[in-house]
Amino acid sequence: MHIRVHVTPGSSRSDVVPGDPWRVHVHARATDGRANEELVHVLAAWFHVSPARVHIVEGHTARDKRVEIVGIDTPKESL
């Protein structure tokens, strides 16, 4: 499954807001790839998959990204 994600680095807490695009707040700052690493871990926890199954496909240096979650067929709208 591919989703569009808007990342907000440096937030007070990490959370996920489903939508189009999905909004993901991460605590890590956008330096040295830390925000991307946390994004992968936050989405992996949200979808209950291993972080190895979450890949940033586009937008490695931008806030707007396209992310692939391997093994998930449809978007999960809420827990």
User: Which bin fits 71, alpha (ψ -120 to 50), beta or left (φ > 0)?
Assistant: left
Fold classification of 2-69 (topology level): Conserved Hypothetical Protein Mth637; Chain: A; (3.30.1200)
pLDDT at 72: 84
Rounded to two decimals, what is the model's pTM?
A: 0.90
Q: How would you write 7-40 as a 3-class SS string?
A: EECCCCCCEEECCCCEEEECCCCCCCCHHHHHHH
**For 3-7, 18-22, 31-35, 73-77, which range has the lowest pLDDT when averaged over its residues?**
73-77
Residue 73 binned pLDDT confidence (cut-offs 50, 70, 90): confident
pLDDT tens sequence across 14-39: 999 999 999 999 999 999 999 999 99
Residue type (1 letter), 45: A
